[in-house]
Structure 1
């Protein structure tokens, strides 16, 4: 099979009919079965559009989710959906206020929504061997970061898990059971979405989150141990990647800073085959930290922004790819948007037509470069 050098991160703008159906469901005007039917149809139409622009790896657009991460957490036993005083603070905006909080021992169950969602997506393409259905889930490190977000979450956590070791063992076990269930259902391409590294690269962000004097190196090691604990001894034919960014909500961002402070852990030691990295503006830093990338690993350059509709200059993209190839061999590079188009159901500020033009640009430039 010819190696592809273009890709997507995975989330897409929600169609208007899906948005309306979710609002109606919230108001009690339609039931779960009616909402699911709308989701099913929207996903079928999305997959056809993905195939039409030449994508060989497809997603369900995260159409069944409200958030890129919280829905997965809520799907584990022992976790409840809470409404804290504040949402997440982004540059100039605050998100809806939702969180995930421990209420009992964390466990995977066979009705986890990500497993159900993947089975539907995979059924749409399983008879097309040239097409791969990808499942994206938030990284274990992101789960931990949510469980310790705010004093109330921490207090509830300690009621159930007196020690971090007990917590980490259950997170790792629940994730591994989810991953193996996805694998048994046919998943061969799994992506771990992870904002923790991007946030940890921003000293000001973490000072605000954790207070003065937090141990940067210890937190890096915690994130690495959690993620790698989940990734140990997975099937050899399961491609596992990770996507790292600094927040993506309604075209805004949460953190800034290059990958330098985390590259020695993330790029050198995380046990994934590929890194999807945000590089769409100066906020992401330069390519220098790529020199830490472990030999043989793939880097997918997120050079095309999903936050704004304006199309990037093709020559600039080609020049930036060439620059990145001084750190990672060109054959180990690929091109994508820097993030999805709708990490939450609100979506970024561009139209569906503009969204597809972005993806067409990625495919066109990649085909010309490689």
Structure 2
């Protein structure tokens, strides 16, 4: 018996213009510090309402409390300065020569979750499964400048894997249905992924009593990323990374296909895993039609059982307008309804 395809997003949604400047990463808050908590709560409530209205099956907090998806977790780690940033070559300089990076100024020590309160607030707004996103160990290391000079990259990744594992366990205990680790670096540093990145991911998910996911993409929808995608001709990275991920205990794997020409045949390597298939281009304001997304879902069903398939975005929608983000989410859920009807799951 077949099961229904579901819909979700990778994690982030655009912030309201009164909270942060739209369309840019690392946008500073537009709200006074004493009003920020209330403003972020309000923005989170709007994000949840939009996802529910769009018809998504798995809900996130829209990452409304984070200026950046890596810094959101690092704010709960002592020994890391996320205020006085430095510039550092990151992401293999694939998109730009340097990016802002938090600074490691002491021994990283977990001091408490930055996400549990938000998780509980989201759960109070919906009875649908809630996913919480965290940066993966390799991506944290790539986004961090070690000012102490004490650690190699692989050693530092194992340290952060332990801290992430503690956070993930606490989130699971607080009711997260899915804890997702964002690892775009798995598609950049292929040798390091093989040598120590996969091991760090294994340590991060160990003993987490919720579904675990890893998101591996080709970057946000910014202009530098879009320019690289327009000229790139090698999309074979998943052929190397996904077989490695398939050997782990991870439950779900999130990949992009909308803004790339990834061969969907690579999904054969993920048998037994849930696949969150990116069918929405986060680098464009254009809203895909449900029929366009449905084509991708039908193709994916040749490799993934319907009950293991989620229609998803390529990456986070933070850089898009709120209008486009809502339209893209609605298109995802409508496409799922189309294909579910075709496979006899219209009422699911």
TM-score (norm 1): 0.78
2:290 and 2:332 in contact (8 A); partners too: no
C-alpha separation in 2, matches of 1:260 and 1:165: 23
Match of 1:248 in 2: 220
1:260 aligns with 2:239: yes
Does the CA contact (< 8 Å) of 1:244 and 1:276 recur in 2?
yes
Task: Give the drift of 1:116.
Answer: 3.7
Q: Distance in 2 between matches of 1:120 and 1:244?
A: 27
1:233–1:85: structure 2 CA closer, same or farther, 3 Å change rule?
closer
The corresponding residue for 1:305 is 281
When residues 134 and 33 of structure 1 are mapped into structure 2, their CA distance, relative to the original with a 3 A threshold, is farther
Q: What aligned pairs does 1:9-48 form with structure 2 within 5 A after superposition?
A: 9-19=10-20, 22-25=28-31, 30=32, 32-48=33-49
Between the two proteins, the alignment pairs up a number of residues equal to 325
Structure 1 residues 169 and 365: CA distance shift in structure 2, 3 A:
closer
Q: How does 1:146-295 map to 2 (within 5 A)?
A: 146-147=143-144, 153-154=145-146, 156-159=147-150, 161=151, 167-200=156-189, 216-235=190-209, 238-250=210-222, 252-253=224-225, 257-258=235-236, 259-266=238-245, 268-281=246-259, 283-293=260-270, 295=271
Q: Does the CA contact (< 8 Å) of 1:90 and 1:249 recur in 2? A: no
What is the Cα deviation at residue 198 of structure 1?
2.3
* Contact 1:70 1:99 survives alignment (8 Å): no
Is the CA contact (8 Å cut-off) linking 1:303 and 1:317 kept in structure 2? yes
1:295-336 superposed Cα distances (whole Å, 9 cap, x missing partner): 321112111112212233544433332222222233322211
Task: Find out whether 1:115 has 2:87 as its counterpart.
Answer: no
Supply the distance in 1 between the matched residues of 2:34 and 2:105 (Cα, whole angstroms).
28
Gaps of 5+ in 2: 22-26, 341-348
TM-score in terms of structure 2 length: 0.82
In 1, Cα distance between the equivalents of 2:69 and 2:131? 14
Given the superposition, is the C-alpha separation of residues 168 and 47 from structure 1 closer, same or farther in structure 2, using an over 3 Å criterion?
A: closer
Q: Secondary structure of the residue that 2:133 maps to in structure 1?
A: strand
Instruction: State which of 105, 122, 125 in structure 1 corresponds to 2:107.
Output: 105
- For the residues of structure 2 that align with 1:290 and 1:262, how far apart are their CA atoms? 12
Contact 1:138–1:192 under 8 Å retained in 2: yes
- 1:91, CA displacement in angstroms? 10
1:209 corresponding residue in structure 2: none
Instruction: Kindly provide the CA deviation profile for residues 58-79 of structure 1, in whole angstroms up to 9, marking residues without a partner as x.
Output: 2221111111222312431121
CA distance in 2, matches of 1:284, 1:84: 34
Q: Is the 8 A contact 1:69 1:137 kept in 2?
A: yes
* CA deviations over 1:246-275 (Å, ceiling 9, x no partner): 110435526652312322212x22321111
1:99 positional shift: 0.9
How many Å apart are 1:354 and its aligned residue?
A: 2.1
Deviates more, 1:243-252 or 1:220-229: 243-252
The secondary structure found in structure 1 opposite 2:103 is strand
Higher RCO (CA-CA < 8 Å; seq separation 6+): 2
SS at match of 2:267: helix
Instruction: Name the residue aligned to 1:136.
Output: 133
The change in CA–CA distance for 1:166 and 1:303 in structure 2 (over 3 A counts) is closer
1:3 Cα deviation from its structure 2 partner:
4.7
Q: What is the alpha-carbon distance in structure 2 between the residues aligned to residue 334 and residue 164 of structure 1?
A: 33
Structure-1 residue corresponding to 2:142: 145
- Aligned CA RMSD, in angstroms, stands at 2.9
